[in-house]
Structure 1
Amino acid sequence: MNNKALRVVAAIDFGTTFSGFAYAHFSSKNIIVHDEWDESIGQFKHPTTLKYDDSLNVISWGYPALAEKPSKTKAPSKTRPAERFKLCLGEIREEDITFAPYLPDGLDYKKAIEDYIRKMSNLIKDTLRNRWPEVDFYTQVLIIMTIPAEFETKAMRTLRDCAFAAELIKDPDTPNLKFIQEPEAAAIHCMKNLKELNIRAGSTYMVVDCGGGTVDLTTRKLLPGKRLGEKTISKGDYCGGIFVDEEFIKFLGSKIGQSAINLIREKHYNQFQYMVQEFSRRVKIPFTGERKDFKPFDLDLEELCPVAKQYIRGSHRDELEESEWVVELKFEDVKKMFDPVVKKILGLIRQQLDECNDYVSAILLVGGFSESKYLQVRVKQEFKQRVRNISVPSNPITAIVKGAVQYGLKHDVIATRVLKWTYGTDVARMWEPGDPPNQKLPGDIVIEFSILAKRGDEISVDEVVTRVFRPASILQSKIGLDLFTTDKDDVNFFDSPHINLLGKWSIDIPVTFSIRPIFMVLNFGELEIDAAAFNLLTGESYNTTFELDI
C-alpha cells in the first residue's frame, strides 16, 4: 500500500445481484462512481448476471443478460443465464437459502466469477485508459475488492485466483490487489455523514450494509484524526433483498403448485426470472408497509410466464382457469414476504447493539436493500428508543464502493479491528499432571493449541504479537509454525474438531547441542498476517504471509 508508483485506486463492489466500480487519482482524490453501462446511463451498478450459449461462451453480461419478457411470436431463448454465483464463495447452510445460485449445467462457479470479473476488468481498463492514458494499469493502479463480513480466507483466495485468470492482475500474489470487508468500507464512507448527525470523536456508530444476498454489520468508534476503531466482531448473514424474492416464490408456489414452480425454474429459467424481476420492479421496490400506498398487483401468467400453464395441475389449475390465469398480490401477501427477512435483520442489529459496551450514537443503513422504505420504517420503530440517529445516506448503493476507494487512498483510516477468530499454533510439550490422560502421546508428550491472539480482542492494525518456541528434540532439523484458527474459547489441545488450518509454515534449523530458540513475530495488518521468525542462535530470518480471517 506504500508503493510510491501507485497513481490510481479502482475499487470493485462485486455483489450478489448488482456490481459496480469507482476510482480516483491519488493527486486529486476525487472519487468517480462509474455510471455508464451499455445503454443504461446514470445507473451506479450493473446486474451480476451472465448469459451463455450452449458451448458456455459468454454472450452478454449485466443488463443485456437479464431475462427478457416472453414473446408469443418468438421461440423461447436457448441462452443459458448465470446469476447469484457470488453466493458460492460463502458457507451457506442448506436451511439458510433456497434461492440458490443459478449456473448452467457444466459451468463451475469459479468460471462464472472469472468471466464476470473479466468483463468488469476490460471496462475498468478502458475507462481508466481514456481518463489517464499515461497510467500503467498493472503497476500504477491499486485494486480494492470488497467482500462480505462472513467470508473466510478461501473466498479471498478464490477471488484473487479468478482476478488473475481474468487478467485483472498480472501476478496472483500482487500487493496491488487488496481486500476490504463491505461493512468496513461502508463505515469509512459514512464518516462524512457523522458531522451532520453531530457525532464527534469518541462516539460509536453502527453501519448496516443491506445488500442483495447478505446483510453485514459493523460497529465503529470515531477516533481523533478521522480514524476508526472497531468495537465488536463484524457480523453478517444471508438475509438480503433476494430473500424477499424467495418469499414471493413461496407465495407463488402456494398458488400454482410447488411442483410447477420447480419445473419452470428448472426448464424455463428465463421466464421464471422475468417474473421475479417484474415482482421486484413493480412490488418490492415501491412497498412502504403502508396500506394507503399499496396498489394491488395482478400477476398475469399468460403474459409473464406463458409456459406455466403446461405444468399446473389439479385444484391449482381449476382456480387459475376461473381467475383467467391471474394471481393477485394483496397488501397482506406482500407484507408477509418482507417480514421474515426484516425480522432477521432486526435480530442482527439487536445482537450487535447488545454486544457493544459503548452507547451507539447512530445507525446508518447502506446498500441497495437499505432503500426499502418498509425496512427503514421497521428499523426506526424497533430501535428509536435505543439509538438517537437512524438514517440512510444519500445514494446508499454507492457507500461500499466509495468507502473502498477512500480506503485505498488512505488505508491508515482503520486504526483497530476486532478479531473474529482465535489464532494459535501447535506446540509439542511434555505431559503434565492435570492434563487429560487421553492427550498423552508416545514419549509422554501432548500437542497443545498455543494461543497467539484471542477472538474478540481489539487489536491495532499492524499490531505485533511475539512468541519464543524451541524444538522438542536436539535432533530436530525443522520446526513447524503453522497457523490455525478457532471460534471456540475452550480449545486447549489439538484434537478439537473446531480447529481449522489457516496456513502451513515450516523452517529449517541447524542441528546443534545448544538451545535453539526461534523468535516468532506476527504482524496483524489489513486482511493479512505477516509472519517472521528469527533463529536467535544463528541470526537467520524467515518470512511468510497468511491471509487473515477477521
Structure 2
Amino acid sequence: MASANSNTEEHYKSESGQMVVAAIDFGTTYSGYAYSLTHEYEKDPTKVFAQVKWHSGAAQLISLKTPSILLLNPDKSFKSFGYDAENDYADLAIDNKHTDYYFFRHFKMLLYQSKILQRDMLVSDDNGKEMKAINVFKICIKFLHDHMLENVRHKFSGVNDTDIRWVLTVPAIWSDSSKQFMREAAQMAGIPKERLMIALEPEAASLYCMHLPLDKMVVEGNKSKESSRVSPFQKGMKYMIVDVGGGTVDITVHEVIDRSQLKELDFPSGGASGGTLVDKAFRDFLDDLVGKDVMKKFAKDCKEDYVLFLREFETKKRMINVEKKGRESMKLPITLTDLYKEKKGNTLKDDVEKVREFKEKVLISGDKIRIDTEIMRSWFNNCCEQIVFEVSKLLSKPKCKDVQTILLVGGFSESPMLQNAMRTNFSDRQLIIPEDAGLVVLKGAVIFGHNPVTIKSRIAKCSYGVRVYRDFREGVHPNSKKIKVGNVYKCRDVFACHVRKGQELVVGEAQHHQRYTPLERQQISLDFDIYTSTEENPMFVTDPSCDFVGKLEVAVPNMSGGNERGVWIQMIFGGTEIVVEAKEEKTGRISKATFNFLQDSCQGGSDSL
C-alpha cells in the first residue's frame, strides 16, 4: 500500500544516541537480516552487521542465511524457522507425527506467479494443508524481526524497537500488489508502517557495490589491466546488475549521475530463472532414476531421509564447476533403495547398470550414489541458459548499448557454473563479482535505509491508468462502449493514462496530474479502478494488454458543486511504491489518497469522468 512516508529521510535515534537501520531479505530459498548504526554508517557505509552463522545441525552446513522454511504446530502457532524447522520436521517424521504440523518451503514464488493477489488467498504446505498466505509471511517476518532485535540488543545496550528503521527487500520485477502484500505482512508482524521501507533488490545491490573498494570485487573480462583498476561507479558510467536468487533473476541497468546518485536506464526485467531450476533438474533426474512413483512415496513416507538428502544436494551443487572430472558421491538413503526394490522387484544397483543413459555414469555402491560430473553439470543448463537469454535481451536494447560492465550478485551468483556461463557468453564485457555476493542485496538494503534518495529516477515498466467515462465521439469510439448518462452519451472503459511505459519517473516528483469529476451529483467519493498495460498507448481498459490491479478512493465530501466538482489527482511513481495526492478544486483541500492493490474480488466500476 502506498505510503506518504515511503521515502522519508528523518532519523530515529535511541536514548543512547544510536539509530539503527535493519534490513530483512526474505528470499525464496534463503533469508537473513543485517543492520548498522548511524554513526558507523557515516564513517563507513559498508560496515554492516549480519547474523554471524546459521548452523544446519547434523550436516554441518554453515551459512550466512537460513532456509526460508517455516514449521508451525498443529494449532498453527510458531514452532521453528530455517534449519531448525527442517531438523524439527525430520525428527517429527521419525515418529510419524509430521503430518499434524504445517511445513512451508519455497512459498515466496506465490507472489510472483499469481497474476491477481488477494489478502485471503491460501498457500499449501508440504502435506497439502492450506493456510492464509499473508499469515505465513507474517510469521516468517516476525521471526526474523525478533531474532534481529535480540541480536542487536545483545551487541548494543539501550536500543529499543522504536529506535529502528526497517527495510524489506523485494524483487524489482514484482508487481505493485506483491509489494503491498509484503508491506502489509510486515505490518502485521509488528513493524509500524511509518518505520518500514521497501527496497528493490538490484538497487540495494548497486548501492552497496558503489561503496566497495576495487580489491573487494572480482573483476573479469577482456579489459586491459589499466581499465580493470578503474571503478565502474564513476560519473557517467553505465552498468548492469544481475541479481540471481533462488526463485528469480532480477536485472536492472543503472547510470551513475554523480558520486552518490544513480538513475535507471530501462525498466527491470528477468523472470523465474533462479537457482531452484537446478533443484528441479535434480528432482527430475531422481524421477528418471527410480521412477516418479517411488520418489513420491519416498518424499511422503520417509520425510527425514528426504529432507537430509535434499540438504546434501544443496551442499554438493555449490561445488560443481566446469573443471571437475569423474564422479561426485552422495549418500543414498537406504529407505529409497528399499522402496525401489519393493516397487520394482529388482535392486536399484542392478537396474541402473541396464539403462543406457545411466550406464557407467551413475554407480550405486553400498549406501553411496556416484554421479558423473557431466550429468551434474547438465542440471545447470536450463537455469544458466535462461539467465544468459534475459541478459542478452536487455543488452540488445538501444538504451543499454553502452553498458560494458555486468555486476553479478545474489545467492545463486556464487555458483561456479553460472559464473562460467556469464564469463563465456559476455567475454566482451567486464564481469564484477563482489565478495560475499549472496549478502550484497541485504547489506545494500541497509545503506538504502540510511539514504533512500540515492536513486534519482526509475523507468516505468508498464503504463498506469484509471478507468473513466469520456464524451462519446462518433467514428472514434465503438458503439459497444456507448452508454447514456443523463442526457448525454458517454464512452465507457476509457484508459485515462497517468504514466506511459518507458517513461522516466523522477523520485519524489509528480509525473502527471489530471482532473476528474463525479459521474453523479450525490457522490461523496470518487472510486477509481486502476489498470496497467504492457502498451504505451492503450485506448480502453478492456484491451488485451490491460490488467486490473487495484482501486483508488478519493473523498469529495463538499457536494455544493454537484457533478461539476473537480478533483485534481497527481501520482508520484518514482519511488519503490506509489504515492497519490488529491486536491479538491473548490476548497483547495489536499488529501493523501491510497491505492489498494489487494482485492477480495476484481469486480467494480469507476464512477468518475
TM range (shorter): 0.7 to 0.9
Compare 294-303 and 248-257 and name the one that shifted more.
294-303
In the alignment, structure 1 residue 493 sits paired with structure 2 residue 540: yes
Other-structure match for 1:5: 12
Equivalent pairs, count = 532
Deviation at 1:65, TM superposition (A): 2.6
Greater displacement, 50-59 / 252-261:
50-59
Q: Which residue of 2 aligns with 1:177?
A: 196
* CA offsets 1:232-253 (integer angstroms, 9 cap, x no match): 1111211211211110111111
1:384 is matched by which residue type in structure 2?
S
For residue 96 of structure 1, what is the aligned residue in structure 2?
none
Deviation at 1:53, TM superposition (A): 4.4
Give the drift of 1:295. Answer: 4.4
8 Å contact 1:142–1:177 — kept in the other structure? yes
Contact 1:423 1:451 in 2 (8 A): yes
2:495 aligned with 1:446: no
* CA distance, structure 2, for counterparts of residue 473 and residue 258 of structure 1: 59
Distance 1:343 1:496 in 2: 33
Q: CA deviation at 1:431?
A: 0.7
Q: Answer yes or no: is 1:47 the counterpart of 2:70.
A: no
5+ residue gaps, structure 2, are: 1-7, 14-18, 42-46, 116-122, 215-228, 355-363, 599-609
- Does residue 66 in structure 1 map to residue 86 in structure 2? yes
Q: Tell me if structure 1 keeps the 8 A contact 2:298–2:335.
A: no
Distance 1:115 1:107 in 2: 15
The one-letter code matched in structure 2 to 1:301 is L
Distance between the aligned counterparts of 1:472 and 1:506, measured in 2? Answer: 11
User: In structure 2, what is the equivalent of residue 106 of structure 1?
Assistant: 129
Q: Which whole-Å CA distance do the structure 1 matches of 2:342 and 2:315 have between them?
A: 26
Distance 2:275 2:566 in 1: 54
Among 360, 368, 393, which residue is 1:351 paired with? 393
Q: Is the 8 A contact 1:187 1:218 kept in 2?
A: no
After superposition, what is the alpha-carbon deviation per residue over 1:130-157, rounded to whole angstroms, capped at 9, x for unaligned?
A: 33333331x3211001112232223223
- Counterparts of 1:74-473 in structure 2, within 5 Å, are 78=98, 80=101, 81-91=103-113, 102-108=125-131, 109-137=133-161, 139-167=162-190, 169=191, 171=192, 174-193=193-212, 196-199=229-232, 200-282=234-316, 284-290=317-323, 293-303=324-334, 305=336, 308-309=339-340, 312-313=343-344, 317=348, 319=351, 323=364, 327-358=369-400, 359-385=402-428, 387=429, 389-433=430-474, 434-442=476-484, 443-447=488-492, 448-471=494-517
Q: Indicate conservation of the 8 Å contact 1:90/1:155, yes or no.
A: yes
In the alignment, is the contact (CA less than 8 A) between 1:201 and 1:223 conserved in 2? Answer: yes
User: Distance between the aligned counterparts of 2:525 and 2:515, measured in 1?
Assistant: 9
1:494-513 CA distance string (max 9 Å, x none) = 33352313332132242337
Q: Is the 8 A contact 2:552 2:596 kept in 1?
A: no
Is the contact made by 1:189 and 1:403 (CA closer than 8 Å) also made in structure 2? yes
Contact 1:241/1:369 (CA < 8 Å) preserved in 2? yes
Maintained 8 Å contact 1:217/1:349 = yes
**Which residue identity does 2:542 align to in structure 1?**
D
C-alpha change, 1:68 and 1:506, in structure 2 (3 Å) is closer
Counterpart contact for 1:417–1:461, Cα < 8 Å: yes
Q: Does 1:521 align with 2:587?
A: no
Cα separation, 2, equivalents of 1:159 and 1:543: 21
Aligned-partner Cα distance in 2 for 1:116–1:383: 38
Give, in whole Å, the separation in 2 of the partners of 1:237 and 1:343: 12
CA deviations on 1:99-152 (whole Å, 9 max, x unpaired) are x98534434243332222222121111122233333331x32110011122322
Give the 3 Å change call, closer, same or farther, for CA 366–547 of structure 1 in structure 2. farther
- How far 1:523 sits from its partner (Å)? 2.2
SS in 2 for 1:198: coil
Moved more, 479-488 or 523-532: 479-488
Residues 417-444 of structure 1 show CA distances to partners (whole Å, capped at 9, x for unaligned) of: 1112211122322111322222211242
C-alpha contact 2:249 2:271 (8 A) present in aligned 1: yes
Q: What is the deviation of 1:265?
A: 2.5
What is the alpha-carbon root mean square deviation over aligned residues? Answer: 3.1
The answer as to whether partners of 2:521 and 2:563 remain within 8 angstroms in 1 is no
Give the corresponding residue for 2:555. Answer: 507
In the aligned structure 1, how far is the partner of 2:372 from the partner of 2:353?
19
Distance 1:456 1:548 in 2: 21
Q: What percent of counterpart residues are identical?
A: 24
CA–CA distance in 1 between the matches of 2:89 and 2:352? 21
Cα offsets for 1:511-535 (capped at 9, x unmatched): 3379543222222352222222222
Task: Verify the 8 A CA contact 1:16 1:85 in the aligned structure 2.
Answer: yes
Structure 1 pair 112–305 and aligned structure 2 pair: CA distance change class (3 A): farther
Q: Which segment is superposed worse, 413-422 or 318-327? A: 318-327
SS at match of 2:399: coil
Structure 1 contact 206–220 (Cα < 8 Å) conserved: yes
Query: Which amino acid in structure 2 is aligned with residue 112 of structure 1?
Result: V
**Could you say which residue in structure 1 is the equivalent of 2:531?**
484
Q: Is the deviation greater in 504-513 or in 182-191? A: 504-513
Structure 1: 5+ residue stretches without partners: 94-99
CA positional deviation for 1:301: 3.2
- Is the Cα–Cα contact under 8 Å of residues 70 and 303 in structure 1 kept in the other structure? no
Structure 2 counterpart SS, 1:357: helix
Superposed displacement of residue 547, structure 1:
7.4
SS in 1 for 2:194: coil
Q: Residue 11 of structure 2 aligns to a residue in which SS?
A: coil
Structure 2 vs 1, CA of residues 406 and 370 (structure 1 numbering), >3 Å: closer, same or farther?
same
